[in-house]
Amino acid sequence: MALSSMTGFARSHGASGPYTFEWELKSVNAKGFDLRLRLPPGWDDVEAPAKKRAGELLVRGTVYASLSVMRTNAVAQVRINEDVLAAVVKVASQVAGKIDAVAPSVDGLLAIKGVIEVVEPESDEEEDKAAKAAAMAAFEQALTSLVEMRRREGETLGQVLGARMDELEQLARRAEAAPGRKPEAIRARLAEQIAALLATSDRFDQDRLTQEALLIATKADIREELDRIASHIAQARDMIGKGGPVGRRLDFLAQEFNREVNTCCSKSNDIELTNTGLAMKNVVEQFREQVQNLE
């Protein structure tokens, strides 16, 4: 199963009877899945099946879906409201008998609100039903294109994440081979520090200092952290290889990577090891940022 990104865009067109329509889908990052529909009046029937189908194909991401509909060959009818017109003429006649006024013109009467009614053509139930079914087919087409685009993006992300794991593995090997981690280097460094302390006072207990030095050396060892980093790298590669909706798990793994690398930096007592730890921290951050885009 392939990796999928949470970002994508798709568009589809369709027609049925007097209707033409267009779907536009846009997907962005999100913690969960949410389909936000914008439908024209009278097309609410497509909302439930659209959400159901999108939920079957997508796991994460906010998808904005917009449907625009046009009805062709639909000419509105203009009718005169006879009752309103008769009432207006009657009032005009009454007013004309009381004052010296010009008789109302035809265009003046027609301009009065309510005299003319514009009636939209009546819709055909069967045509509307067929149009909504065709609109759902077009939605399926747009959704399929969106899923395909997200998978192509996911494939690219998988390659980037794999490269980050290769870099992290190389840096972990460099940390493993750092001269400052060798026992003789640690002993020499501690010996110098102990000698400097003993030179300042004759009241230091050399045996106690030796014990403390050994304790410090043990705490400074990053063997455990390097082993966990290697384990996390193996897990990340396995998840990337299997694919599917692994974004959340990889995000958690990125946090674990960060924890181990921070510990390595805090334990470091060698400039080369510190620089390697900072480089690992940078790679982990790049890995985490890319993981945020995965489904």
Complete DSSP assignment for 75-143: PPEEEE-HHHHHHHHHHHHHHHHHS--PPPPHHHHHTSTTTEEEEPPPPPHHHHHHHHHHHHHHHHHHH
Residue located via tokens 């009718």: 79
| CATH number of the structural domain 8-73+125-151 | 3.30.230.10
Ranges for all domains in the chain classified under CATH 3.30.230.10: 8-73+125-151
Contacts of 12 (CB under 8 A, 6+ apart): 22, 23, 138, 139, 141, 142, 145
> Please, where in the chain does CATH 1.20.140 lie?
154-291
Q: Rounded distance, CA 288 to CA 195, Å?
A: 45
Q: What residues contact residue 179 under an 8 Å CB cut-off, 6+ apart?
A: 185, 270, 272
Residue 282 pLDDT class (50, 70, 90 cuts): very high
What CA–CA distance (Å, rounded) separates 159 from 240? 9
Where residue 289 falls among pLDDT bands split at 50, 70, 90? very high
The rounded distance, in Å, linking the Cα atoms of 236 and 14 is: 43
Give CATH for domain 154-291: 1.20.140
Which is nearest to 160 in space by CA: 295, 7, 291, 6?
A: 291
Q: How confident is the model at residue 161 (pLDDT cuts 50, 70, 90)?
A: very high
Q: What is the reported pLDDT for 126?
A: 87
Q: pLDDT tens across 133-146, in order?
A: 999 999 999 999 99
| Average pLDDT taken over every residue of the chain | 85
Least confident of 2-11, 48-57, 58-67, 194-203: 194-203
pLDDT per position as a tens digit, 216-233: 556 567 888 999 999 999
Considering the chain, what percentage of its residues have pLDDT values greater than 90? 56
pLDDT-based confidence at 11, cuts 50/70/90? Answer: very high
Instruction: Phi first, then psi: give them for residue 69, nearest 5 degrees.
Output: -130, 140
Q: What is the pLDDT of residues 106-156, one digit of tens each?
A: 777 667 777 777 665 566 788 889 999 999 999 999 999 999 999 999 999
Confidence of residue 209 (pLDDT cuts 50, 70, 90): low
The pTM (predicted TM-score) of the whole model is 0.73
